[in-house]
Chains A and B, each alone.
Chain A
């Protein structure tokens, strides 16, 4: 542990319990000015609770903190901000219906008048290569731009410590590159950065120290640059990980075809799908990559039947089913699992039996002439619990009592056990622990091996590289032509995600932005003096 006088933030013995779980158990670590320090751990390891304590959102049950040598116990986020702590949230703390300047003002202690603030936003965002228009509504921004708002909001207050909670999950590889340059520049200026992630390669590229959490405790510290990703992963998970294996089957006939010209979103601030066509063959896994908010939810709704289409826009084994609703599509063999587990894929307050009925009604014959056969529903729920190793007291447990990983296994299991001809899943392992994620991936690969067509929509590129046969990128509601996964490098995928595929696409400016940053980095300070209008 580094010297106390040198440490910017020192945390000792922090403990915080929630009903049934100790989120933080006697956690200690320190971070120096200018250091990029990683907090590494699986979902549920206690990273978020710890940073919420540092940011004053959660009070610890026990433990001490020092900031710049003085005892530090922020009563609320505004006290933490006043001390010089800034935080960029994983789920953005932004307001869709307010403009960028208003959003920034809300995160500041003493916000200047709007006009002056707008100017500072322009200046600082240019200086750090994160251009922003202060008058735009946040709801209309892309995920990457929304993150910029959060970062600029922090930067305007000259933080001494910047906390970043899973910042790259919503960014393309190119955007990650921009973010890392910004962070390195900040670190060089003396700002300490506490970087939370479970992405090992990123941590190895960016951080010079790492504290590894597991089940709420510090299990190890290291310099991530001296470790391999595999070593880090094993420290994080506390054991060796099994790689999913796959028995390859030769791809069969095309079972699902989708062809959309334009489809405006059903919700405010949604994405319009444009010129989107795809086809999947039996026995293959089509991976659809893309940063959140580029039309994933809309695409899933189109396939699941929540959004209706002209009959011929969606064909299952050659028959137009676009007009059919979710239940009819299921009966025909097209099943799906949406991203949001609680509230979309499952009803939080309903029991697992009731949730089994949610999609299993017709295929599992849980309903006869309108009346529910509860016995069969319960048996189906039990079968899912057993075959997918869902840890729960039993089928009467409400869905929200399950951990993320267990509920996701239940949701995927519910669809897989219905023997679909086509299964569409959106973010199958998002927020799920490594073991459950491996089990889910294995189940999807087994399903394809048995001859089903599988569409996996995911922002986790590693996941898609592992399980998909073909890859297509979803960007601003458009889908690139799919390519064979074996031909693609991570860089090539990055370019596809950025929109540089052979359709005319709005993401040219992303490339342009990268150029800007580079030119600024070549001539540091230039952008500071001459902000572009």
Chain B
């Protein structure tokens, strides 16, 4: 008989080891999935995890892509992690990301073709505010009317997607685009472009912001009373109230921060790598960032590493699609599996497994 015994204190070893173990198990299970699809599992895993970085044929293209993909994931996940720690579940980052991009692009398109130094900072501001405002909808509904923030934030993703489609085909459509949906290319508009800062690294302002967010998140979480209150509210809500934490203010802070960072991520994406507003702009970063946040143990440094790893699966997935004809959806299933393994193994850090012979009475 297997008994789970609660540990008096969470095991430090397993807290660090479970993400690694989860990645390994996901590779195993993913390999099995690829084999079922009739692909060589070893080759598939190698192409996804190894080739983008070290294969001389692809590395020159894919290495810079790593930061491009990881940047928004990290930025969004750092924001989400604070809410998740406080048991405030913003799962609509995808929507906040889209709205951030729409606001940023809106500023750029409004000034086009004016060249001025203030356009890009203004876009940054607009993107952040847009994401923040979109996240404040569930926050205000929760604090004012006690409405479930999980459902509202998620439903707002669908609204944001429709809004994106409406604008891409309507007011933001490129008048010189020959009737095709999609806006002007913002990346080619010098005053608004989020350019690569160091050639061939993928480093753009969004990645810089992501790194700043990691540092800022670390300090907030470990050194500041606000980070302490976030953790307290998540672990023991009654104790948090007793300590004097205002739960409404905490909801506003956590959702607002996540929305702000997601909005920034969207804005940097539309002004750089994506280049324009189009129907397919929403690429699922907002959802993958949830996995990043958990894989990183809701810790800024962990999120940095997890963001890079998940970024890698995006690039590797594209590569595998090209080389093996592996469907793009396989990567999504792969990422979902990773989250499952992670959550399942989490038990190891809080419980001890005891094997006991079935008592014979």
Contact = CB atoms under 8 A, between A and B. Distances in A.
- Per the CB under 8 Å rule, do A and B touch in the complex? yes
A446 to B, nearest CB: 24
A27 B293 CA distance: 50
B279 to A, nearest CB: 44
Interface string A304-346: 1110000000000000000001111010000000101011111
Contacts of B56: none
A533 interface: no
Given A73-B361, A347-B232, A401-B9, A338 B225 contact: no
B8 A398 contact: yes
B242 interface: yes
Given A19-B5, A372-B225, A325 B244 contact: yes
Contacts of A306: 241-242
A59 B359 contact: yes
B224 A343 contact: no
Interface in B211-259: 223-226, 228, 231-232, 235-236, 238-244, 246
A371 B359 contact: no
B250 to A, nearest CB: 13
B327 interface: no
A330 B9 CA distance: 30
Interface in B179-211: none
A30 interface: no
Q: How large is the interface on B (under 10, 10 to 19, 20 to 34, 35 or more residues)?
A: 20 to 34
Given A327-B244, A398-B8, A347 B235 contact: yes
B63 interface: no
B225 A361 contact: yes
B228 A343 contact: no
Contacts of A400: 8
Interface string A338-361: 101011111111100010011101
A61 interface: yes
A372 B361 CA distance: 54
Contact of B236 (A325, A348, A359, A370): A348
B10 interface: yes
Interface string B1-14: 00001001110000
Nearest to B9: A398
How many interface residues does chain A have, given as a range? 35 or more
B239 A19 contact: no
B238 A357 contact: no
Nearest to A340: B238
Contact of A354 (B5, B228, B238): B228
A224 interface: no
A276 interface: no
Interface in A381-432: 397-398, 400-401
A327 B225 contact: no
B352 interface: yes
A187 interface: no
Contact of A348 (B235, B241, B359): B235
A245 B337 CA distance: 63
Contact of A326 (B225, B232, B235, B242): B242
A347 B239 contact: yes
Contact of A371 (B5, B223, B238, B244): B223
Nearest to B240: A347
Interface in A42-70: 59-61
Contacts of A346: 236, 239
Nearest to B239: A347
A507 interface: no
Contacts, number: 81
B231 A358 contact: no
Given A350-B232, A371-B223, A398-B9, A344 B238 contact: yes
Interface string A425-457: 000000000000000000000000000000000
Interface string A265-305: 00000000000000000000000000000000000000011
Contact of A60 (B235, B240, B359): B359
A176 interface: no
A284 B53 CA distance: 73
Given A305-B244, A357-B228, A345 B361 contact: no
Interface in A11-49: 19-20
B239 A344 contact: yes
Contacts of B10: 349, 398
Nearest to A329: B244
Nearest to A72: B361
A344 B5 CA distance: 24
B244 A343 contact: no
Contact of B241 (A73, A326, A370): A326
A345 B242 contact: yes
A367 interface: yes
A327 B225 CA distance: 13
Nearest to A20: B8
Given A60-B361, A344-B236, A398-B9, A326 B243 contact: yes
Contacts of A60: 359, 361
Contacts of B226: 370
B8 A343 contact: no
Nearest to A324: B244
B235 A350 contact: yes
Contacts of B238: 338, 340, 343-344
Interface string B315-341: 000000000000000000000000000
A358 B223 contact: no
Contacts of B242: 304, 306, 326, 338, 344-345, 358-359
A349 B235 contact: yes
Contact of A343 (B236, B246, B352): B236
Q: Which of A326, A340, A357, A401 has the most CB of B within 10 A?
A: A326
Contacts of A73: 361
A231 B7 CA distance: 38
Nearest to A351: B9
Given A73-B361, A350-B231, A358-B232, A343 B243 contact: no
Contacts of A370: 224-226
A340 B239 CA distance: 10
Interface in B1-40: 5, 8-10
Contacts of A361: 225, 243
10 contacts: A73-B361, A305-B244, A326-B243, A327-B244, A340-B238, A344-B236, A349-B10, A349-B235, A349-B236, A350-B232
The 10 A-B pairs with the shortest beta carbon distances in the complex, nearest first, are A327-B244, A326-B244, A401-B8, A347-B236, A73-B361, A344-B238, A347-B239, A398-B9, A358-B243, A343-B236
Given A342-B236, A345-B242, 12 more contacts: A60-B359, A60-B361, A73-B361, A326-B243, A330-B244, A338-B242, A348-B235, A350-B232, A358-B243, A359-B242, A371-B224, A372-B223
